[in-house]
């Protein structure tokens, strides 16, 4: 398996970005939904700090992924109905937007609340908005709703991948699996 | 007799040298602190405090600061923090409602005056030194002091909150007082 993608399958760099970001977004999302119920404590502060750091990592990975995508080639669409190919690309586009919007709304919310933003206790990032408690409420709603919306879109994304793998028995999922090889 | 009385007064005066007493004008006077949380500094202040100030630059030995701070009046502009500070994890105002600072000695080093004193906070008394900048004005004076203390020496934010990688140990305390001569 090469670093770069080929006509038939994704390269290891594209696979790395795909799976590490999938894991980070899901874990951080569930983590985020649970952490708001914690009673104020040092543990809560630490859990929030991790959530923010993981979110910022997702944002950084996304930027690197875009750069890589610009240089990498892309496997050709697997044979199938045109509408499915269009739908698949549309879903990918929406997922990309959500992956950026999730950390950015988090950052926005954090700024509106006037909280510090520290990356794994290494360095601090600036606020991207002035303190505003009313708007913070809205930003929090947006941040949380985005994750629920992402889960909905994921149903389509994962559902389609599994449908291709299980029922169509084609290479759509296989070419993105960590150790998968496309069949001829 | 008058001559004798004047003479006695003249002789007695230097020995009776007492620093001028001042009252703090609450308008424009602040008692503030600066801490660091998650790598980011934050400012707070105490809305309620009393300060008895006696100061004479020429007679530092007769000068004295005596300050009592209502710890429940700490405000930092953040609701969560302002709720946490009076609680049992930090100031524990239910047990220790006030902090008290009283000077023990003043020193002059060149143009800098330092006030040594004892701070009682959270049931612990430790020495704390302040730099003193005293400027006479027409009605009285302005007094600016600055000092640093380590919160953990006073047991403020113990247990899990003792983690200085999240909440810095050092807290800078400053005060700006508008003084009116008594």
ipTM, interface predicted TM-score of the complex: 0.84
Rounded Cα distance between A26 and B150, Å, is 41
Taking residues A98-114, report their average pLDDT: 97
Backbone phi and psi for residue B18, each to the nearest 5 degrees, phi listed first: -125, 145
What is the C-alpha separation between B66 and A147, in angstroms, rounded? 55
Whether B142 maps to a domain, the answer reads yes
pLDDT of residue A154: 96
CA B20 to CA A147: how far, in whole Å? 66
Considering only A54-63, A101-110, A170-179, which range has the smallest mean pLDDT?
A170-179
Q: Give the rounded distance of the alpha carbon of B181 from its chain centre.
A: 19
Rounded Cα–Cα distance for residues B154 and B10 (Å): 47
Look at residue B172 and tell me whether its pLDDT is greater than 50. Answer: yes
Q: Which two tokens stand for residue A159?
A: 């559902």
pLDDT at B6 exceeding the cut of 60: no
Residues of A in contact with B159 (CB under 8 A): 42
- For the cut 60, the answer to whether the pLDDT of residue B16 exceeds it is no
Looking at residue A182, its pLDDT comes to 79
| Helices assigned H by DSSP within A72-180 | 82-112, 133-162
Range of the domain at B54: 19-181
Q: Where are the domains of chain A?
A: 12-168
Cβ contacts (< 8 Å) between B160 and chain A: which residues? 41-43
Across all residues in chain B, what is the average pLDDT?
A: 91
* Residue B61 falls inside a structural domain: yes
Q: Answer yes or no: is B8 within a domain.
A: no
A180 pLDDT band, cuts 50/70/90, is confident
Query: Where is A20: in which H helix or E strand?
Result: helix A12-35
**pLDDT score of B4:** 58
Percent of chain A with pLDDT strictly greater than 90: 86
Q: Give the span between the Cα atoms of B28 and A93, in whole angstroms.
A: 57
The encoded tokens of residue A81 equal 């109905």
The answer to whether the pTM exceeds 0.80 is: yes
- CA-nearest residue of chain A to B77? A114
pLDDT of residue B5: 59
Identity of the residue in B39, B84, B159 whose CB atom sits nearest the CB atom of A116: B39
So what's the pLDDT on residue B20? Answer: 87
CB contact under 8 A, A42 and B159: yes
The 8 Å CB, 24+ separation contacts for A146-153 are A146/A98, A146/A101, A146/A102, A146/A105, A147/A29, A147/A32, A147/A33, A147/A102, A149/A98, A150/A25, A150/A29, A150/A95, A150/A98, A150/A99, A150/A102, A151/A29, A153/A91, A153/A94, A153/A95, A153/A98
- CA terminus-to-terminus distance, chain A: 16
Chain A residues with at least one Cβ partner in B under 8 Å: 40-43, 45-46, 49, 114-118, 121, 123-124
Measure the CA–CA gap between A11 and A2, rounded to whole angstroms.
Answer: 5
Output the domain CATH number for residue B132: 2.40.128.110
Inform me whether the pLDDT recorded for B17 exceeds 60.
Answer: no
Query: Is the pLDDT assigned to residue B142 strictly greater than 90?
Result: yes
For residue B182, pLDDT over 90 is answered with no
Number of domains in chain B: 1
> What is the count of residue pairs from A and B with beta carbons less than 8 Å apart?
35
Most B-contacting residue of A116, A120, A122, A136 (CB-CB within 10 A), to test interface: A116
Percent of chain B with pLDDT over 90: 83
Of the candidates B53, B46, B47, B66, the residue with the CA atom closest to the CA atom of residue B23: B53
pLDDT of B14 reads 46
Interface test with B, best of A50, A112, A118 (most B CBs within 10 A): A118
For residue B96, the model assigns a pLDDT of 98
Cα separation of B154 and B25, whole Å? 29
Q: Which of chain B's residues have a Cβ under 8 Å away from the Cβ of A48?
A: none
Contacts of A42 in chain B (CB under 8 A): 159-161, 163, 166
* CATH class of the domain defined by A12-168: mainly alpha
C-alpha to C-alpha distance for B126 and B128, rounded to whole angstroms = 6
The mean pLDDT value for B72-90 works out to 94
The two tokens of residue A31 are: 């983590």
Whether B39 and A43 lie within 8 Å, measured CB to CB: no
What is the per-residue pLDDT across A8-64, written as a single tens digit (0 to 9) for each?
899 999 999 999 999 999 999 999 999 999 998 999 999 999 999 999 999 999 999
Residue B19's pLDDT is 79
Q: Please tell me which of the candidates B39, B83, B166 has its beta carbon nearest to residue A45.
A: B166
The reply to whether residue A42 touches residue B39, judged by beta carbons under 8 angstroms, is no
pLDDT interval class at B15 (50, 70, 90) = very low
Mean pLDDT computed over every residue of chain A: 94
């Amino acid at each position: 398996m090469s670093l770069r993608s080929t006509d038939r399958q994704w390269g290891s760099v594209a696979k790395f970005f795909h799976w590490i970001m999938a894991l980070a977004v899901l874990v951080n999302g569930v983590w985020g939904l649970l952490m708001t119920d914690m009673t104020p404590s040092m543990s809560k502060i630490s859990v929030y700090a991790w959530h923010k750091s993981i979110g910022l990592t997702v944002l950084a990975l996304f930027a690197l992924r875009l750069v890589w995508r610009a240089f990498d080639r892309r496997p050709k669409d697997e044979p199938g109905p045109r509408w499915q190919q269009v739908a698949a690309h549309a879903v990918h586009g929406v997922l990309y937007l959500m992956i950026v919007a999730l950390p950015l709304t988090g950052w926005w919310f954090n700024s509106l609340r006037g909280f510090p933003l520290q990356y794994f206790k290494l360095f601090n990032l600036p606020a991207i908005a002035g303190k505003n408690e009313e708007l913070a409420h809205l930003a929090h709603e947006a941040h949380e709703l985005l994750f629920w919306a992402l889960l909905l879109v994921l149903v389509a994304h994962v559902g389609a991948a599994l449908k291709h793998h299980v029922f169509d028995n084609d290479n759509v999922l296989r070419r993105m699996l960590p150790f998968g090889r496309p069949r001829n | 007799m008058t001559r004798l009385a004047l003479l006695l007064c003249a002789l007695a005066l230097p020995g009776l040298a007492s620093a001028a007493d001042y009252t703090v004008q609450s308008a424009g006077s602040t008692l503030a602190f600066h801490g660091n949380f998650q790598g980011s500094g934050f400012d707070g202040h105490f809305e309620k405090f009393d300060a008895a100030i006696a100061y004479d630059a020429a007679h530092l030995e007769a000068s004295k600061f005596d300050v009592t701070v209502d710890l429940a009046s700490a405000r930092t502009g953040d609701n969560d923090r302002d709720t946490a500070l009076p609680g049992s994890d930090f100031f524990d105002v239910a047990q220790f409602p006030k902090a008290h600072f009283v000077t023990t000695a003043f020193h002059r080093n060149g143009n800098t005056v330092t006030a040594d004193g004892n701070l009682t906070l959270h049931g612990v008394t430790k020495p704390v030194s302040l730099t003193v900048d005293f400027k006479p004005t027409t009605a009285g004076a302005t007094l600016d002091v600055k000092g640093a203390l380590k919160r953990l020496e006073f047991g403020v934010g113990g247990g899990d909150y003792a983690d200085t990688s999240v909440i810095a140990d050092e807290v800078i305390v400053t005060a700006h007082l508008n003084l009116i001569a008594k």
